[in-house]
Amino acid sequence: MKIEGSVALVTGAGRGLGRADARELVRRGAATVYGTARHPDQVTEPGVTPLALDITDPGQVTRVAEQCADVSLLVNNAGVMKASTFINAPDLDAARQEMDTNYFGTLSMCRAFAPVLAANGGGAIVNMLSVTSFYTNPLNASYGASKAAGWSLTNGIRTELHHQGTLVVAVHAGFIDTDMAALVDAPKISPQSVAQQICDAIEAGQVEVLADDRTKFVKASLPRDHELIYPPIEEFWDAALKGTP
């Protein structure tokens, strides 16, 4: 798919990776770039048309799909991470919020825009996932569960929409240098680098982006995950809990 001349919609475009995605689409010549956010005044990137959208609100999703009937490229970037464990979280609120946004919200957007894309020649959907689509880290366990569900969703809609010529791209990355990972002391990849890789994949017709070395290692290790991935995580977790009840 060619980005030049396309009409794109990016969710969560008010900051971080969404802002970088919108900027890169403008730079590559998209005819129109809609940038959505719960508070559209946060969408300030030059050349981007701001729209109000909470992807967990079905009515808003329907209205935006009707309003943006010219879209040929949907970038599902909006997401939330609550850094919640499975067992020790005080309640299920964080897990429900993550699943509602990262899975059900993304699903709602795919459902609403699938016929729009079909009417405009097929186009493409990009779903922003995570390295934690592939494994569970107890520090953000329920977030990983929502992204694993998003990975399954992405693979499923790719199959369902193949007949209409819609490219469906899964983007997996580790820590990105955005507000979401601001408190993390670990190597991070720049939002602009991820945005460039996403656009390259769209134009090359690639179905998957593994945006950094950590993500490439984890994906390659999946056949031996209980040897290569989980033992160091368990060691870290046990050490962190040492001496606690």
Tell me, rounded to whole angstroms, the distance of Cα 162 from its chain centroid: 20
d(CA 153, CA 89): 26
- Annotation marks residue 230 as catalytic: no
Tell me, rounded to whole angstroms, the distance of Cα 175 from its chain centroid: 13
In the numeric block, the tokens 């509602």 are attached to 100
Torsion of CA 13, 19, 21, 26, to 10 degrees: 100
Q: Which of 140, 132, 138, 135 is nearest to 171 (CA)?
A: 132
Q: Which of 177, 190, 197 is nearest to 28 (CA)?
A: 197
197 within 8 A of 150, measured Cβ to Cβ:
no
122 within 8 A of 76, measured Cβ to Cβ:
no
Sign of CA dihedral 26, 30, 32, 33: negative
d(CA 72, CA 207): 16
Element of type H or E holding 203: helix 191-204
β partners of residue 168: 125
Which of 34, 103, 135, 143 is flagged as catalytic? 143
- Catalytic positions are 143
